[in-house]
Every structure is written in structure tokens, then in C-alpha cells.
Amino acid sequence: MGLEFILATLIGVAGILGAFIGGRRNSSLAADTIGIIQTRMDVFESEARKIPALMQRIAMLEELVTQRADVEGVKEIVLRIEEKIDAQA
């Protein structure tokens, strides 16, 4: 066995060990990443379920604002009528 053969064998074994260790590390990193993504998806889905209730609340608030504007409009009309009555008296 020559020196070149021994060096080539050692380099090949080192490459295989490096790939194995790197693969295990990347596998662990991928599993952690998947766990984080799954947790975020669970939170997102939980928040998304709240959207219909929030939309109902928004619709109710819009209706209240519209009603209040209508009441203010009626109040102004009543005040104008009252002023005209007072002016005629």
C-alpha cells in the first residue's frame, strides 16, 4: 500500500463521516424547523377561527354608528323646527 492510497482512503472515510454527521445535524435542524412551523400554524389557525366573530362585531358597530348618525340628524331637524316655532311665537 502506497502513501497515496492511504491518504485517499483517509480522505474518503473523513468525507463519509463528515456527511453522516452533517446529515444528522441537518436532520435535527429540519425537525426543529418543522416543529416551529407547526406551532406557528396552530396559532394561526386558532386566530383565524376568531375572524367570523370579529366580522359580526364590526357589522354591529357599523350599525350603531349609522344609528347614531341618524339620531343626530333627527336631533338637528327637531332643533330647526323648534327654532321656527319659537320665531313665530
Averaged confidence pLDDT in the chain: 84
Residues 26 and 11 placed together within one structural domain of the fold: yes
Regarding pTM above 0.75, the answer is no
Q: Are residues 31 and 13 in the same domain?
A: yes
Same domain, 57 and 76: yes
Tell me the per-residue pLDDT of 1-18, one tens digit each, with 9 for 90 and over: 677 777 778 788 777 777
Residue 89 pLDDT more than 80? no
CA–CA dist 72, 60 (Å, integer): 18
Structural domains in the chain (count): 2
Q: Are residues 5 and 45 in the same domain?
A: yes
> What's the CA gap between 68 and 82, in Å, rounded?
21
Which residue range forms the structural domain that includes residue 77? 50-89
Residue 23 corresponds to which amino acid? Answer: G
